[in-house]
Amino acid sequence: MQIIDGKKVSALVKEEVKKQTLELKEQYGITPGLAVVIVGDDPASRVYVNNKKKACELVGFKSEEFSLPAETTQEELLNLVKTLNEKKDINGILVQLPLPEHLDDKAVIEAINPLKDVDAFHAVNVGKIMLGEYDFMPCTPAGVMEMLHSYNIPVNGKNCVVIGRSNIVGKPMAMLLLHENGTVTICHSCTQNLAEICSKADILVAAVGKPKFVTADMVKEGAVVIDVGMDRDENGKLCGDVDFENVKDKCSYITPVPGGVGPMTVATLMKNTLKAAKIQNNL
């Protein structure tokens, strides 16, 4: 069993982004800019936003944070997005989800210019992912693919199972595996014989949001297990969707929580923002 080290892979990705950012500055005087919008004071969102700011500093981006009170109106938020769409020095716009309940996150995402939508949540970008002709890939699934590539784990012809069908992880994850010729099954809360389906997977991706949901009987001997979950167990300790201790000995590769997929999400965001800056400047 080999641990897939997300910290190590993400450091390599950020190093490459840093190098290309320096070249952009030296050759064209362009510094990629990322705007992060956070509404209210959800503690988990605050942690994510701080991580994104740190990563921007590390790779040499300009980052702007817009921290809005929880009672911000839909109109105020849409006006901010409109302003950021028009700002030349902002190449990527990220609105931290979830938003407070009175706000319509779909309308907010659709208001972002698709060329600045570095989360790849806009309908235009989602459509491009379906077609396999995308500018940006959603950060978490793209981070998973980056990990598979960096450990030379082939997807071609493999039986891939994704547990979870969210628009943020499950669905795009399935599409990216499909684009690399995986045979993909998506499982969800209405799936029958879930354990049986999972136990046939060469590559199993868990994105279900339930602590230690994937147990050893659901994992095939020698499978690659990717844990996208970020949960707390009964003792309040950070854990994933996979029962790591009991599953690890059956796997050929497994991602830990923390230190697996999490760091990759932020690294891919940096990669997307760099690409956005290049596209917007016709480079």
The catalytic residues are 52, 96, 119
d(CA 201, CA 30): 45
3-state SS record for 194-255: HHHHHCCCCEEEECCCCCCCECHHHCCCCEEEEECCCEECCCCCEECCECHHHHHHHEEEEC
d(CA 151, CA 162): 19
Dihedral class, residue 81 (left if φ above 0, else alpha if ψ from -120 to 50, else beta)? alpha
CA dihedral over 139, 142, 144, 150, signed as positive or negative: negative
- The secondary element (H helix, E strand) that includes residue 185 is strand 183-187
d(CA 112, CA 82): 7
The amino acid occupying position 239 is C
Of the candidates 264, 235, 266, 17, the one whose C-alpha atom is nearest the C-alpha of residue 118 is 266
Q: Which residues pair with 202 in a beta bridge?
A: none
| DSSP one-letter code for 100 | P
The total number of residues written for the chain in this structure: 283
